[in-house]
Structure 1
Amino acid sequence: MEMAVAVLSTLTSNVVPKLAAVLEKRNEQLKGLEGDIRFMKIELEMISGAMELQLSQKQRSSPVQIRSMAEFRDLAHDIEDCLDRFLPCAACEGEPPASIRDPRRFADKIKKLKAQLEAAKKRKVDYDVNGSQASGATEEMDTEELVEMADDPVGIEKPKQEILDLLEGGEQEKLCVVSIVGFGGSGKTALAWEVYHCTQVSWRFGRRAWAVASKHKDAKGILTAILEGLRSEEEPAMAQDVPGLQQHIRNHLKAARCLIVIDDIRKQLWNAIKPIFSVETRSRILVTTSIQSVANACSSGHGYVYSMKTLSAEHSKDLLNKKVFVGGCSPDMEEGSTAIVDKCDGLPLALVSVAKVLQGENMLTGACCQEISQNLGERTDKNKNGDFTQLRQVLMSSYSSLPDPVNPLRTCLLYTSLFPDGRPFSRNRLIRRLSAEGYIQRKHPRVRGDLDVADENLKELIDRSIIRPIDVSNNAKVKTCRTHSIMHQFMLHKSRSSNFITAFGASNSSNFRHLVIQNHKKGTKAPPDMNDHLSIPVNGGHSWTSVMRFTKKSSSSDERKQLRPRSLTVFGSAGDAVSGLSNCELLRVLDLNECDDLKDEHLKCIYKLLHLKYLSLGRTVCNLSRKMERLHCLETLDLRKTMIETLPVQVLRLPHLAHLFGKVKLELPIKLCAEDILKQILPRETKLETLAGFITDKNYAFPQLMCLLKRLRKVKIWCEPTSTDCNLRLLSEAIQKFVLADMVTGVGSRSLSLHLNNYSEDLLHHLDNTAGYLSSLKLHGKLTRFPQFVLSLCGLKELCLILTNLKGSDLSNLLKLRNLLYLKLVGVDHLNDLHINRGDLSSLRRLCLVVETPEFPRIGEGALLTLTSLQLLCQGLVGLCGIELGWFIELQEVALDSMVNTETIQDWENAAKKHPRRPKVLLLKRVDQAETGSTVKYVATEGPSIFQKKRNIEQFQSTSTYEVQPNLKQLKF
């Protein structure tokens, strides 16, 4: 019900502004319709409010309520479809509105929709929808996690010892707060429970107290629970006010070394009770939470944050064996148990829940295990036998704890389920799609853009541990992320039941807002590994071709079965599905980035998708039609994976195009001179912000064009050897204007990436005296000296020098960049000739060094005091190479190449344990150049570590091809 309310609320929030815009167009076309439109606007707002009120009561919805809500959701879909079909571009704010397309049909449709809305409203009253309840039962969430996992713990010894070490770490006479943070059901409470009851803790702490914060509404309740645990049996219990409770707890903390465990802490409660704990104490506090920012707040100062890790595949199977396959796992069961392990993704609560189901089966077979794993999301939601009660409560709590349904956070979470389970998705890809879909609601449109709001929503989901960050970029921003597998499956099931997301070809798919195709083959069943995402059903479905045929045959708008999706996403092959793209006339997002059988001819009629805002094409596309200029609403065009080499100039005329990605040249008419071309390309100011990127050669048009794009924020340029001196001069002038644009205000974020060639020295010579404002600069290509213009850039926060042929002795000038936060050096030889002393790079937060030989800068004591991340990516790294981790007092993580030997990993692990902040030691995997198209790229992996068996390390190092599966937390060979 909650998901359906979120979908309906999002719909109404999109439809209501459009209805308001219609009311502003007071002309003859709307004569007699104003009252009807105003009625629908008010009704939609009231419906959304009523649904939110119903949801806030936390009562189980009756079948009548569910059916009524579905009816209003479908009506909201119909109204949105009507407005999209008949109204002009909604993005043209401030421009003269075009006439409504076919005003007579529009008027007829509006009257019919009004009648349907009134009928639905009457039915809601007649059947007492608001008062009817299924049983009056409520779904109260028991926020204390599954402690029964501690009865027979698996894989808990290592994290328990790490927590014990953290409790003993830091200054002994200072208060230390250790926060355990992780997704619901990951075993935070079970781990804290094990620590609390272990013999080692009872020896070290004279008094202990356990309190569950979620059971108390205010500070008095939680303080009473803490005092109850600390007081001895001889002390009488008595009711006290808050000051009295605080004083008694302080007395206990002075008299003995105490351990206080607070489960499921909330920030408000922590702020209320924090003042009672003196900084000067040997006592320790252990808290659990699912919110990263709460963990950071609790452990600020002398504390530590411990991020929960999910169980490995080996430990997951051990847990199943102990609870289900006590006598061992037969060959028939092996494949089924592996499928369950994959789906549960190392989440202990999910594994325990599935184990309960398996224990109740009369005849347990491998096929039974496969069936349970394939329908885990549906089983968790329906929870027929109560085996999934706690798991469902945890998942629903994670969802319902998000802000009210109108907030796009819930919609954002639902939307992530269209990406395949277990496969990381790009953060930028997601936020641009959300913006194009209209799922972003800005309170202050002139202050923040859609992408900023979408990025903020994603950050909050990451902060709440619902979405996991996978890869992080040079500037510490998340590049790729993924949802927990069990949450993904639960959201996917809810999305299906709310007509939000489904597989193309599924029954009634024309009523869904978002369609997904994954390795579509006409007339064949989807392979088993697709069932965890959006497979194509064998029975009850229909092919794309049959839908298209039916659509074309029907001439009447009432009889015609319209395809209503707002997005279509393809993973793998699309088969015959791509042949009728133009029939999805209301598409806003067409994501073919991972489609591997798309042909140029399939895109011939793409210009008919007049509402398209986001278009991404895959590696099999070679050309773009000049008719692309008809895609009036297009905002994002992603050609990075394509084979397209030239771009029609008509594309740059699109009035709303803001982000263009690829590596292309401009296709220019031969007969026209450059000035005439520019007049035709840019008859008015464009909205282009991202141009990443263009190849500049002997053609003069691109540098001149770049000078005219006033809104550019991010530019990526490849300089080809065919560039002439005149062209390089024009290009340098364009770059100078680009970096000077924000010089006055000194605000904003501007990024420049230059892939240089043999003419780089000439280009950099033109830029030597350039002073301007730039936040990010990347230089890729051979240089003979450190570019002087870098030192003249104000606001430079990120600098990347990739394969520049510079040596360590050439880089002394970069030490003068006192405001630099992020530095990445790739392929620099003799780095040990670079000396970093106290005061150099005094603001640096992240340092990444990618080298072939283990030579690193000589860093003196007192230097880089603000450094939080140190990445030393060298396959031949041996030992610590003379680096003293203790000198970096703010260090939080160290990243190494995953191919380094076991002894080196252990050396860094040991050094990290001695560091006051105990930084994490991460392993990054180097990706083959052929896979990425880039020179050097590393991705996150939880590959070999000192805790794995040595034979696995040796096998890893001797294997030429390997794959990391994040959901299994192991290496697959």
Structure 2
Amino acid sequence: MEAALLSGFIKVILPRLFSLIDEKYKLHKGVKSDIKFLVKELRMIVGAIDDDELSTASSTARLSIQDLRELAHGIEDCIDGLMYRATWEEQSSFFRRSVRAPKALKTSAQLAREMQRLRQMTREAHERKQRYLVGFPAAVAAAAGQSSSATQLVDESPSSPSDPRILDADLVGVDEPRAELLQQLADVEPRQLKVISIVGFCGLGKTALAAEVYNRETGSNRFEKHAWVYAALKSPREVLADMLWKLSSDVRSCQGESVLQPSDVGQLCVELRQQLVRKRYMIVIDDIRTEDQWKTIKSALPADKDVSSRIVVTTTIQSVANACSSTNGYVHKMSRLDKICSEQLFAKKACPDKYSCYKQPDPAEVLKKCDGQPLALVTIGEYLQSKGWPTGPSCEDVCTQIGYHLENDKSFEKMRRVLIRNYTNLPGHALKSCLLYFGMFPSDRPIRKKSLFRRWLAEGFVEPLPSPSTPDPIAAFDVLMDRNIIEPINVSNNDNVKTCQTYGMMREFILHMSISQNFVTLFCNCKAEPKYVRRVSLHHSSATDADRFDNVDLSLVRSLAIFGKASETVLDLSKYHLLRVLDLEKCDELKDDHLNDICNLLLLKYLSIGGGVTRIPRDIAKLKHLVSLDVRRTKVKILHVEVLQLPCLIHLFGKLKFPDRVKPKSEVHEFLSKGKSNLETLAGFVTDGSGGLLHLIGYMNKLSKVKIWCESLAGCTDRTDLKETIQQFIHDKKQANIGSRSLSLHFDKCCQDFLNPIKGPCYLTSLKLHGDLAALPQFVVSLRGLKELCLSSTKLTTNVLEALSNLSDLQYLKLIAHDLEKFIVRDQAFCRLLRLSLELQCPTFPTIEEGALPFLVTLQLLCKDLHGLSDVKIDSLKHLKEITLDPRVTPTTREKWEKAAKEHPNRPKILLFKSVDSYQSEPTDFFIVSDPAENATAESNIASQGSLQEPDIQTLLNQGLGSSSMMRKQNNPVFNGMGLSEVSSHLR
């Protein structure tokens, strides 16, 4: 695994080397020759690592990898030093004046000597490896016991019993999920094959739940045939052969087929159909990992139309679960244990019977580390018991050394295999780097997905567009999500993930890997810190001790993130000259003066700041590589217009004003008028409707997301400039692949009349209007491509609501108001709508006719005064899966909705909507969704949580709520299931 990560790291370096050979960098001919040499050397190193999977087989091989890592880091430092100097020289020429050289700037002679030193290092590394080369197969090394650490293990799959009855039946909290799955098996409809998928991260109890269900069903007479097969690391032919063996009544007929060739898959399919045709059967396929496996298995099953047979599959991969259950299926998403069940399971495993009357260990630290993962709770509990609790180590002792135990202790072997398997099975080295980057964030902070994308791009782990060797950020994120390695915490109503995080032991594993590989440095709880660091994350109070940084070279840091307080030594930006990512958004003590040296960060690509900052230095215009600038958490109100002249700037976030006047012949005007701007996101700016930035937006041809706050100033009624700017932005150019285009308008205290003259043809994929809407602006009805619409107003009239019915492409509609006037959703209206959210003060809901909203999946009725069903009939909503209610509705109302949901063919889940703590939220407000059926203590927990009071509708209107979101509150029983997941499964 060390080798794989290093290989991916080198692949990130190569494009930078290629860029330095380009003629735009006026480098000495000898330096360019050295660069070409290093390109060839690095290519050979990558090839050797990718071809030689023996790199973890011996101590000499591991030392060789350390040699290569040191060499690769040295090459990267030299490359970035060259790029830094070239950028500084370009800046000096651009500003046509003498620019003071930064302290860390190396001379051309120094860089040339560094290149020569690196050439010599490559020769020495090669010669050293040849002198001490002792290679032998990884399998032999593993058998000899030479793979002793977590980073040296090959992929192993946890063994699965051939007979599920031998599984440990010591389960916790299994009643509800088991009852639900047994009901799915018992239903005779549909009268054809139905596939039930159980999906979730390793160690959540998927196999144990399937075994519980299987064992109960084998004791009944509902199915004529039963079989349990294990699919991991087996070919489809092997799975089919195993299945036939288990199903065959004549075992001897199968014994002769034990050595079938791959060409015999067809023969196996024929024999399986003979065994199953016209019979009602139940088969469990445990740990299926690929869709191809399922396709072959499915092809062997008879296509009986009148037999209610059932297949149960378990998998860690969401896309595989969806594929298996795509037709007449059911997907059960495993949840982690709540606090009560976690305590029960941990106590069972940690405390010997002879100490049952002794005071139980305080599980607080263990529950925090395990985060509801049953396997982790069992692992730590059994470890404590093996060490002789209560005389042995305490919970706190174990938790502070969890990384050591994961790497070295045999009691953690199964946990270690689970974590390593999920890491090593990631396709590609870049994905491993993306995952390890999660170590930069504190465990109690949800991570904003789009911010994470921009950091990955700045570091070079991913590319803006797909390339053969490096994935794009969306693809990388989707793979991690699909494998349940990371989980969504905050999911918007339009089903977009807003925030996410890793959890439990996976997070501990990521931290251990990233620190041991010198990928991330955390200055906390460590007696000795490394001298050279490349990515620094300072959590909470870890950055306040200036003495800890005296011997640390910060000039090589590429990513710096500060959460909480920080010393002046850390905040001295003159120490960092190769920085690419700077996150000071949650830095408590950040002031204006700390940004004085920001102009020296010439390679900076990502900048996010907060704290007490009130101004951004004009010198920020020197950051020619800056791609993302986020000042939403600052007190900055006015931004220098020179920022718009940054050639690489793509994303600009804040609530900003720009100078009213921009001179026609100024450098900024010339830059923009020549179409040089790459800005895609401008979210957003404040305007009175005329002048200033509005005249410049028309030149920003790549804009795809715009957010505008319209001020109402005394004596200012002319908003012609704003109207023309909006008209130009939404103009439909009839392009086939125009992509997404989003507009958010806030006009709470001013009239919307300036919107009325806007005419088509127009194109938007997302529109948010916040303010009093007397009528729906005409351009909205004529929008092409509109998929998302949010209207926020004091009152939404019948005229406005009826006009929405003409939006035939709409997939997500959100209405926020004190109340709605009465209106009827007619038959065939909103024919493509998937999600509808109504946040109201008064319980007046639309009447839905039969045939309306034919594909609605999610319905949110957020009104605390909702009484009963309020004449809302869900029977006709054939695809409904989730219904979300205000948590303050009466128990009687909730019971009526739960009853209606059980009577619905789909049995949609009933969810509760909660407001999120401010420290967790994004710059806009979001919400938590919980499942009231999740555990028996939900009511008391809701009552005891003072932070769970939902803000009233007027507050939402005043704040201009853009999009609600569903969030999971960590370490709280009522929130231990994701809003869109199934009811919690509490089992080992």
Q: TM-score, normalised by structure 2?
A: 0.87
Q: In the alignment, residue 5 of structure 1 is paired with which amino acid?
A: A
**1:675–1:784 CA distance, 2 compared to 1 (3 A):** farther
Distance 1:111 1:60, change over 3 A: closer
Report the more deviating stretch, 841-850 or 905-914: 905-914
Cα distance, 1:956 vs structure 2: 4.5
The offset of 1:416, in angstroms, is: 1.3
3-state secondary structure, aligned to 1:693: strand
Residue equivalent to 1:102: 107
Q: Distance in 1 between matches of 2:945 and 2:620?
A: 49
User: What pairs with 1:291-370 in structure 2 (closer than 5 Å)?
Assistant: 291-326=317-352, 333-335=360-362, 337-364=363-390, 368-370=394-396
Letter aligned with residue 282 of structure 1: S
Query: Could you say if the C-alpha distance between residues 231 and 63 of structure 1 is closer, same or farther in structure 2, counting changes exceeding 3 Å?
Result: same
SS of residue in 2 equivalent to 1:543: helix
Matched, 1:257 2:257: no
Partner residue in 2 for 1:653: 645
Aligned to 1:695: 686
Q: Which whole-Å deviations, capped at 9, do the CAs of 1:418-450 have from their partners, x for residues lacking one?
A: 2112432111110011111111146756x99x9
Matched with 2:533 is 512
3-state SS of paired residue (2:572): helix
- After TM superposition, give the deviation of residue 274 of structure 1 in Å: 0.7
1:253 CA drift (Å)? 2.6
CA shift at 1:325, angstroms?
A: 2.0
Q: Give the Cα separation in 2 of the matches to 1:501 and 1:329.
A: 43
The aligned counterpart of 1:152 is: 170
Aligned residue for 2:889, secondary structure, equals coil
Give the partner amino acid of 2:221.
Answer: W
Q: Distance in 1 between matches of 2:477 and 2:875?
A: 34
Counterpart contact for 1:797–1:821, Cα < 8 Å: yes
CA distance in 2, matches of 1:51, 1:628: 41
What secondary structure, in the 3-state scheme, does the structure 2 residue paired with 1:853 have? coil
Q: In structure 1, give the amino acid aligned to 2:875.
A: G
Which residue of structure 2 aligns with residue 39 of structure 1? 37
Within the candidate set 46, 50, 75, 1:52 is matched to 50
What CA RMSD, in Å, does the superposition of the two structures yield over aligned residues? Answer: 3.3
Aligned partner letter, 2:375: L
Alpha-carbon distance, 1:11 to partner: 2.3
Cα deviation, residue 22, structure 1: 2.9
Q: CA 1:26–1:311 in structure 2 vs 1: closer, same or farther (change >3 Å)?
A: closer
Structure 1 runs not aligned, ≥5 long: 525-540, 549-560
Match of 2:628 in 1: 636
Secondary structure of the corresponding residue to residue 111 of structure 1: helix
2:723 to 707, 710, 732: 732
Partner of 1:864: 853
* Residues 330-359 of structure 1 deviation map (CA, whole Å, 9 limit, x = unaligned): 897543x22112211111111121122112
Partner of 1:536: none
Does the C-alpha gap of structure 1 residues 967 and 456 become closer, same or farther in structure 2, counting only changes over 3 Å?
farther
Q: Structure with the greater relative contact order (CA < 8 A, sep ≥ 6): 1 or 2?
A: 2
* Structure 2 counterpart of 1:414: 436
Question: How far apart are the structure 2 equivalents of 1:460 and 1:152?
Answer: 33
Residues 34-61 of structure 1: per-residue CA shift (max 9 Å, x gap): 4432222122122222223344x6x854
Does residue 123 of the first structure (1) align with residue 146 of the second (2)? no
2:474 maps to 455
Provide the secondary structure at the position in 2 that maps to 1:195: helix
Q: What is the aligned partner in structure 2 of residue 398 from structure 1?
A: 422
1:206 Cα deviation after fit: 2.3
Counterparts of 1:640 and 1:316, CA distance in 2: 38
> Which of 908, 918, 940 is the matching residue for 1:919?
908
Indicate the residue corresponding to 1:245 in structure 2: 268
* 1:625 to 2:617 alignment: yes
Per-residue displacement from partner, 1:487-518 (whole Å, max 9, x unpaired)? Answer: 11101100001010111376444423210111
**Alignment CA distance shift 1:315-1:151 (3 Å):** same
Instruction: Give the Cα–Cα distance (whole angstroms) in 2 for the partners of residues 925 and 145 of structure 1.
Output: 40
| Counterpart selection for 2:501 from 468, 476, 482 | 482
Match status 1:813 vs 2:803: yes
Matched, 1:288 2:314: yes
Matched to 1:348, the amino acid is P
Matches within 5 A, 1:649-728: 649-667=641-659, 679=669, 682=672, 684=674, 685-697=676-688, 700-722=691-713, 727-728=718-719
CA 1:262–1:97: 2 relative to 1, 3 Å: farther
Contact 2:3 2:56 in 1 (8 A): no
Q: Any idea what the Cα deviations from partners look like across 1:655-699, whole Å, max 9, x if unmatched?
A: 111100000101457xx7567586267474211110000000265
For residue 556 of structure 2, give the secondary structure of its aligned residue in structure 1.
coil
Q: In the TM superposition, what is the alpha-carbon distance from 1:704 to its structure 2 partner?
A: 0.4
Tell me the distance in 1 between the aligned counterparts of 2:533 and 2:154: 28
Q: Which stretch has the larger CA shift, 347-356 or 187-196? A: 347-356
SS at match of 2:268: helix
Q: Work out whether 1:499 is the aligned partner of 2:489.
A: no
Provide the rounded CA distance (Å) in 1 between the counterparts of 2:945 and 2:502.
30
Structure 2: distance between partners of 1:34 and 1:946: 64
State whether structure 2 residue 745 is matched by structure 1 residue 754.
Answer: yes
Once the two structures are TM-superposed, the CA of residue 9 in structure 1 deviates from its matched residue by 2.3
8 Å CA contact 1:150–1:191 kept in 2: the answer is: no
Does residue 582 (structure 1) correspond to residue 574 (structure 2)? The answer is yes
CA contact (8 A) 1:689 1:714 kept: yes
Give, as a single letter, the amino acid of the residue that structure 2 aligns with 1:781: G
DSSP 3-state at the match of 1:173: coil
SS of the equivalent of 2:40 reads: helix
Q: Paired residue for 2:449?
A: 427
**Counterpart of 1:85 in structure 2: which amino acid?**
G
Kept in 1, the 8 Å contact 2:316–2:484? The answer is yes
Deviations 1:521-548 (A, max 9, x none): 6777xxxxxxxxxxxxxxxx9523x248
The AA in structure 1 aligned to 2:854 is L
Q: Which amino acid in the other structure matches residue 778 of structure 1?
A: K
- Secondary structure in 2 aligned to 1:198? helix
**SS of structure 2 residue aligned to 1:887:** coil
CA gap 1:263/1:416 in 2 versus in 1, 3 angstroms: same
Tell me the SS of whatever aligns to 2:221. helix
Contact 2:350–2:383 (8 Å) recurs in 1: no
Q: Secondary structure at the match of 1:749?
A: coil
Offset, 1:183: 0.4
Aligned to 2:74: 78
Q: d(CA) in 1 for partners of 2:24 and 2:833?
A: 58
Q: How far does residue 80 in structure 1 lie from its aligned partner after superposition?
A: 1.0
CA distance in 1, matches of 2:275, 2:875: 35
Equivalent position SS for 1:481: strand
- Distance (Å, rounded) in 1 between the aligned partners of 2:746 and 2:435: 37
Q: Within 5 A, what are the aligned runs for 1:155-234? A: 155-169=173-187, 171-198=189-216, 202-219=220-237, 221-232=238-249
Structure 1 equivalent of residue 141 of structure 2: 135
1:177, distance to aligned residue in structure 2 (A): 0.3
User: What is the CA-CA distance between 1:918 and the residue it aligns to?
Assistant: 3.4
- One-letter code aligned to 2:276: L
For 1:889-904, list aligned pairs within 5 A.
889-904=878-893
Cross-structure match for 1:556: none
Do structure 1's residue 373 and structure 2's residue 377 form an aligned pair? no
Q: 2:772 is matched with which residue: 772, 779, 782?
A: 782
- Aligned partners of 1:596, 1:961: CA distance in 2, in Å? 27
Paired residues in the alignment total: 924
For residues 772-818 of structure 1, give each alpha carbon's deviation from its aligned partner in whole angstroms, at most 9, with x where no partner exists: 11111100011211211101111111110012532345310100100
Please tell me whether the aligned partners of residues 700 and 727 of structure 1 are also in contact (alpha carbons under 8 angstroms).
no
Report if aligned partners of 1:902, 1:953 keep a CA contact under 8 Å in 2: no
2:513 is paired with a residue whose SS is: helix
Identity %: 37
Write the distance in 2 (CA, Å) between the matches of 1:239 and 1:91: 72
Cα deviations by residue, 1:722-755 (Å, 9 ceiling, x for unpaired): 2876751011111111111643446211100000
| Partner amino acid, structure 1, of 2:248 | R
Q: Is 2:791 aligned against 1:801?
A: yes
**1:876 partnered with 2:874:** no
